[in-house]
Structure 1
Amino acid sequence: MQKIVIDPITRIEGHLKIEATVDGGEVKDAKCVGTLFRGFEIFMKDRDPRDAVHITQRICGVCPTSHGTTAALNLDAAFGVADKIPNNGRILRNLIQGANYIASHIVHFYHLAALDYVDVTEVADYDGTDPELLKVKDFISRALAAGDMSMLAPFYPRYEGDYRLPKKVAQAAVAHYVEALNMRRLAHELSAIYSGRMPHSVAVVAGGVTSHPSIDSISSFMSKLNTLRHFIDNVYLPDVIAVAETYPDYFGIGVGCGNLLSYGVFDLEANGTNLATRQRLFTQGTVSASDLTLHTFDPNKITEDIKYGWFKGETNEYPLNEVTEPDHTKAEGYSWLKAPRYENTPYEVGPLARMVVNYVAGDPVVQKMVNDILAHFGAGPAALFSTLGRHAARALECKIVADEMVKWVMELKIGEPVCADYEIPESAEGMGLWEAPRGALGHWIKIENHKISNYQCVVPTTWNCSPKDGQGVYGPVEQALIGTKVRDNDNPFELVRIVRSFDPCLACAVHLISPTGNEISRFRVY
């Protein structure tokens, strides 16, 4: 047996270590190790509850919008205004979040995952006239001539081998990598029209938003959105299909736990205090690969297990009742991540979960898109539970969200309210359930003496990259890695492809600060 340690996994948000025990070319055991603790749940205590919207956005610079909106939903419930949000407030929250979805999905595929499949050195032979690609060609040619691949950051370092895309396709993909940088910037601009800035919105608040629609803002929003929709339809989706056509074996690699969970996202009704039943574009529910049947979602069945996490306290607690107390000396612990469970079972969250839940729920738009993709590859629904299934789901979702935003922006009513009035209660409890681009996101709050007495976040990557639970059941990413065939232990590209298909965000998932500047860890970078 041989242990492969990848520390840290690069091209993700935050710090994640993977340990895989390989025997006979197959992964027999795997660990996901979150290597940083940040303590947001601790320093939120005794704050003004309204601060939650702004502080929690600092958990992550990629998906701050999701944390801000989830915190606002949390406060809506605690302040008793969940059924009083004006339609403009609901729609503007959706538009701000939708822009973040577009930015996140584009950056994930092109700037985080695509380099696992695209050999950028193919651009050294480029003979076209694209000015941006010629710049990349010059950049790469100089590095190759010097024999110094370290000059090629961010394209290097990388694992070697298994680059299959035809040269022309690979060259086009590199050009799209550059173009996608501009698209991500444009998506941030799109969000900032109504969020005030990106990252870290100042417009999303308890009760709705603080920005007001105008003719000029609607016109600017539509112009930028249509440019992004053109990129999604004509570049992003075709590139995902091209990768899938070249790497079809990855429809059977990285299956995972086979259980999917969605909290639902993008509110379609202004009222409704029950977030488990509120009408949303992507609906709430759970689905398992074993039966592909939609099951009702009950948030009271969410718990977090800390058997193998570096934490003290009771295990299998409902989030609102948890106390976050770190314990790095814990003998059996191996991660700063807790292990969220639903009905004591691990669940994968993210675009795949949202798309499959809506597919099984009978959403006609999702069903047509998914069926068309499956027919193109001659595959059945089981192929969705895979590395490529996650990429396909993310791209299709990006199109659905962008197209729906066209409808939403035209539903805005100039001059109508955007926020409900409220008072901060002396004592209250709240829950916010939403979906970040990476998956199910929940915030819970207890208020005492008008201040936060407890605040807990259960985030997408905590679900996906969780360690084992007290029953010895592995987390979703760990399960996806176990059983994987590794061709070359020195270049385990199979493993990083699987991990990156989940789009981990450890900045969200692990909340160690060393104020004295002491060295905490040394990392071997691949």
Structure 2
Amino acid sequence: MAKRITVDPVTRIEGHLRIDCEVENGKVSKAWSSGQMWRGIEQILQGRDPRDAWIFTQRICGVCTTVHAIASVRAVENALDLEIPLNAQYIRNLIVAAHGIHDHIVHFYQLSALDWVDITSALKADPKKAASLAQSLSDWPLNSHQIMKSTQEKLKTFVDSGQLGIFANGYWGHPAMKLSPEVNLLAAVHYLQALEVQRTANKIVSVLGSKTPHIQNLAVGGVANPINFDSQATLTLERLMLIKEAIDELGSFIYNGLLVDVAAVGSFYADWTQHGAGITDYLSVPDLPLDTAGTAFGMPGGFIKGGDLSTFQPITRFGDPCLLDGVAESNKHAWYEGSDPLHPFDGRTDPEYTDFQDDGKYSWIKAPTFHGQPAQVGPLAQVLCGLASGDHRTQAATDYFQDKVKAVLGETLPLSAFHSTIGRHGARAIRCAVLYENLKEQWQLLMDNIATGDHETFNAPSFPKGEIRGMGFHEAPRGMLSHWVVIEDGKIRNYQCVVPSTWNAAPRNAEDAPGPYEKSLLDTPVADPELPLEILRTVHSFDPCISCAIHLHDTEEQSVVSVKAV
């Protein structure tokens, strides 16, 4: 007889997510993914000036703020067929690449590592052996015996106090945990060090974007970063060199910390390459535009069918018709009016709450499809598309990762192993390295372009009478993000956001096909239904961001917030 498990809320994510599973014979036989919030941004934007949309949309979330700002301005620029100065492209690229690096480091260490790492086990480790293991895998300077020992003493203080603080509520001692005490200690050391590295990445975002979260420098038509080396109130050489220093610091940790740790954890949990594949149709978009029109990019994107790289279909430019015509969203199992799939330009976000219905509506998240089929988005899709397209940065980072796997496991993993729970973690670490290599290049491209005497950062938009439509995309840390805008007489008539966690956390679609979370959970082994760590492992591997995915919910039907246009 099937046992029903409900995990609500799922923690160590952004937003409110509920996962229901039926478990039979020790494995998941059916799953439901339910977003438990409604955001309503689409209604708030109706009738507003399109130039203001990015300010509102990046408030969807406090974690992935820059991504909605970027996608929003690109959507309006696409509608206007407006080109962007090269300097503005490079500055935007620096911001999104640095933000992506920050996000990937946060995800592995702070959000998901504790699914695999037993903090209390680290108290049993030999600090000298932990340091020796770490030094055999990388040249990271903060892997000394002294650091291992001092960190172990900090952990002991937490445990002895009875309050684990940031390490509370873990599944310590769970039978699915199997890292050695030394590996657990190494991971705990890097968990704490990663907190400081994140600040370095955010320094780049805040210098260029004025603040983070919620950058302030964007504009439809470019950026508000005047370039003048003679004025301290602008983007000066001093600030650019500060950014270069931060970029160099990030590279050391990415290659000697993150990639090594993910490879080591993945090697010890190699059996998890057999779980969590789910949907293997992969969708990503190109990013880091290298020209003013968005027809050349530093990172490739496209579509892969059934995990077969030979089926790779590139997406080559902003406004690519394959993507523009291929996206639709269904409300059949989502708490909105209607059920038939609608193209985002015609999308509706009118709430219709019914309570949780197993076979009816059960989520505030819509169900997107690409040419009629669900697709998985995220770093795994981006890495596979990078490999399929022959991107040399992706190949180099993948080779580096595989070398570290071989050092621990004794062999490299086949590419098919990446279609899995643990594979998504590996792909995210690889993508972090790819972002770093592009971050270095974008800085140099900006410097070289400024050296030619080009200081332009903004092209003024002009809105025509009548209707225009635009779609802006961005390969965000969690995957393909797209904003869709219909503008009439210079005002927003309709606006829809189709975001990574909408793709991945989707409920069943119009054809009742499960979404990526739901399908990836099928056949997952569950050792103890009362402690469903295995379910969390797979869900966390997608890095859920539910505030982005849902479309404020109050059970008492009271007004939660009032917005007044002035």
- TM-score (ref. length: structure 2): 0.86
Displacement after TM superposition at 1:154 (Å): 2.4
Displacement after TM superposition at 1:449 (Å): 3.3
Structure 2 residue 395 is matched with structure 1 residue 370: no
Q: Deviations over 1:218-269 (max 9, x none)?
A: 2101001100111101111111111011111111111111110012211122
Structure 2 residue 245 is matched with structure 1 residue 231: no
* Higher deviation after alignment, 425-434 or 371-380: 371-380
For 1:523, the equivalent position in structure 2 comes to none
Q: How does 1:456-495 map to 2 (within 5 A)?
A: 456-495=496-535
Displacement after TM superposition at 1:517 (Å): 9.4
For 1:248, the equivalent position in structure 2 comes to 270
* Higher deviation after alignment, 124-133 or 418-427: 124-133
For 2:224, the equivalent position in structure 1 comes to 210
Structure 2 residue 48 is matched with structure 1 residue 47: yes
For 2:105, the equivalent position in structure 1 comes to 106
Structure 2 residue 99 is matched with structure 1 residue 121: no
Q: How does 1:429-440 map to 2 (within 5 A)?
A: 429-440=469-480
For 1:389, the equivalent position in structure 2 comes to 423
C-alpha separation in 1, matches of 2:530 and 2:103: 31
For 1:188, the equivalent position in structure 2 comes to 202
Displacement after TM superposition at 1:118 (Å): 1.1
C-alpha separation in 2, matches of 1:167 and 1:310: 46
For 2:137, the equivalent position in structure 1 comes to none
Query: Structure 1 residues 513, 449: CA separation in 2 closer, same or farther (over 3 Å shift)?
Result: farther
Tell me if the contact between 2:463 and 2:489 (Cα under 8 Å) persists in the aligned partners: no
Structure 2 residue 151 is matched with structure 1 residue 152: no
Structure 2 residue 313 is matched with structure 1 residue 286: no
- TM-score (ref. length: structure 1): 0.92
Tell me if the contact between 2:332 and 2:339 (Cα under 8 Å) persists in the aligned partners: no
For 1:15, the equivalent position in structure 2 comes to 16
C-alpha separation in 1, matches of 2:300 and 2:160: 53
Structure 2 residue 313 is matched with structure 1 residue 295: yes
Tell me the secondary structure at the aligned position of residue 398 of structure 1: helix
Displacement after TM superposition at 1:117 (Å): 1.1
Counting matched residue pairs gives 510
Q: Which amino acid aligns with 2:352?
A: D
C-alpha separation in 2, matches of 1:130 and 1:111: 23
Q: How does 1:338-417 map to 2 (within 5 A)?
A: 338-371=366-399, 373-374=401-402, 376=406, 377-412=411-446, 413-414=449-450, 416-417=455-456
C-alpha separation in 2, matches of 1:200 and 1:23: 45
Q: Deviations over 1:450-480 (max 9, x none)?
A: 2211110000000001000121100011000
Tell me the secondary structure at the aligned position of residue 493 of structure 2: strand
For 2:25, the equivalent position in structure 1 comes to 24
Tell me if the contact between 1:308 and 1:335 (Cα under 8 Å) persists in the aligned partners: yes
Query: Structure 1 residues 187, 449: CA separation in 2 closer, same or farther (over 3 Å shift)?
Result: same
Structure 2 residue 457 is matched with structure 1 residue 418: yes
Tell me the secondary structure at the aligned position of residue 90 of structure 1: helix
For 2:95, the equivalent position in structure 1 comes to 96
Tell me if the contact between 1:132 and 1:178 (Cα under 8 Å) persists in the aligned partners: no
Tell me the secondary structure at the aligned position of residue 32 of structure 2: strand
- Unaligned 5+ residue runs, structure 2? 128-143, 228-234, 316-321, 561-566
Tell me the secondary structure at the aligned position of residue 411 of structure 1: helix
Tell me if the contact between 2:63 and 2:213 (Cα under 8 Å) persists in the aligned partners: yes
- Unaligned 5+ residue runs, structure 1? 273-277, 521-526
Tell me if the contact between 1:305 and 1:317 (Cα under 8 Å) persists in the aligned partners: yes
Displacement after TM superposition at 1:11 (Å): 0.5
CA RMSD of aligned residues (A): 2.2
Displacement after TM superposition at 1:379 (Å): 2.9
For 2:37, the equivalent position in structure 1 comes to 36
Query: Structure 1 residues 122, 440: CA separation in 2 closer, same or farther (over 3 Å shift)?
Result: same
Q: Which amino acid aligns with 2:337?
A: K
* Higher deviation after alignment, 218-227 or 160-169: 160-169
C-alpha separation in 2, matches of 1:143 and 1:517: 42
Q: Deviations over 1:337-372 (max 9, x none)?
A: 000000111100011001101111122332343356
Displacement after TM superposition at 1:51 (Å): 1.2
C-alpha separation in 2, matches of 1:27 and 1:102: 33
Query: Structure 1 residues 166, 127: CA separation in 2 closer, same or farther (over 3 Å shift)?
Result: closer
Q: Which amino acid aligns with 1:318?
A: H
Q: Alignment partner for residue 169 of structure 1, among 183, 195, 217? A: 183
Query: Structure 1 residues 314, 106: CA separation in 2 closer, same or farther (over 3 Å shift)?
Result: same
C-alpha separation in 1, matches of 2:212 and 2:146: 29
Q: Deviations over 1:389-443 (max 9, x none)?
A: 1111111111111122212111223351011122233442211011111000000
Q: Which amino acid aligns with 1:449?
A: D
Q: Alignment partner for residue 341 of structure 2, among 316, 319, 323? A: 316
* Higher deviation after alignment, 439-448 or 135-144: 135-144
Query: Structure 1 residues 364, 138: CA separation in 2 closer, same or farther (over 3 Å shift)?
Result: closer
Q: Which amino acid aligns with 1:171?
A: L
C-alpha separation in 2, matches of 1:203 and 1:88: 13
C-alpha separation in 2, matches of 1:220 and 1:141: 38
C-alpha separation in 2, matches of 1:447 and 1:290: 37
For 2:130, the equivalent position in structure 1 comes to none
* Higher deviation after alignment, 379-388 or 136-145: 136-145
